[in-house]
Amino acid sequence: MSESLQARGLPVSHGFGKRDAGAPKSLRRPHQVHGVGVVVVREPGPEALGEADAVVCNHPQVPVGIVTADCVPILVASRDGRVVAAIHGGWRGLAAGVVASGVAALRELTEDELVAAIGPHAGPCCYEVDTPVLDALGERFSAILAAACRPSRPGHMWLDLGQVANAALEQAEVTAIERLPDACTACPGAPFFSVRRDGAETGRLLHWIQAG
């Protein structure tokens, strides 16, 4: 599961987190705030970056990453592997356009085709949202939102947030997209941290990528 971009022939290193996964050495990651900010990393340095929910890097010795515990992790690379990004796709960030801002920052560094992988997140089996969340997503994703939902309780829907992330990538004209199957973080017994299942104090999954 952790080698989907390499399997497509991209000369990058990357990993989607599980509960027991470690962090690569020299990793740099932003302070996530569920926004649309992007930080561009061009050199090694201390781990902590500023506030952002997407991190773009073109240095081959510096892995960059984001953390999640049910939100959608999105890793993107140029086909030549020289520019990479990790994007934190929660519903707030997706509604606000974090994928668009992350992809735009990537395109400032490369004209190559972009390839994306969508990692483990709370699936439609476990991710129930209410009307305000759907309203927020509806502004940007009206074309696909109905197809990504099925009814639960009154005023609530089960939502396939990965499908929303997929649509966000397509809107940003990234069409080579891989969605990892069978990777719901919140299902009972799944080998992931999940806020939905375990509460807000649970751990976080680290997802990282490093340019080749």
Question: What residue ranges bind Zn ion (CB under 5 A)?
Answer: 123, 125-126, 184, 186-187
Residue 158 burial (C-beta neighbours within 10 Å; 0-12, 13-18, 19+): middle
CA distance 70 to 119: 10
- The whole-angstrom separation of Cα 90 and Cα 85 is 16
CB closer to Zn ion out of 57 and 126: 126
Nearer residue to Zn ion within complex by CB, 53 or 160: 160
Shortest CB 70 distance to Zn ion, Å: 10
Q: Beta strand 48-51 with 156-159: parallel, antiparallel or unpaired?
A: unpaired
The CB-of-127 to Zn ion minimum distance in angstroms stands at: 8
The residues, any chain, with a CB within 8 Å of residue 136's CB and separated by 6 or more, are 91, 92, 95
Q: Nearer Cβ to Zn ion, position 54 or 164?
A: 164
Give the tokens for residue 140.
């940007």
Work out the angle between the directed axes of helices 161-171 and 131-145 (0-180°, nearest 10).
50
**Shortest distance (Å) from residue 158 CB to Zn ion:** 10
Q: How far is the CB of 199 from Zn ion (least distance, A)?
A: 16
Which CB atom, from 174 or from 184, has the smaller least distance to Zn ion? 184
- Give min distance, CB of 12 to Zn ion, in A: 28
Nearer to Zn ion, 19 or 31 (CB): 19
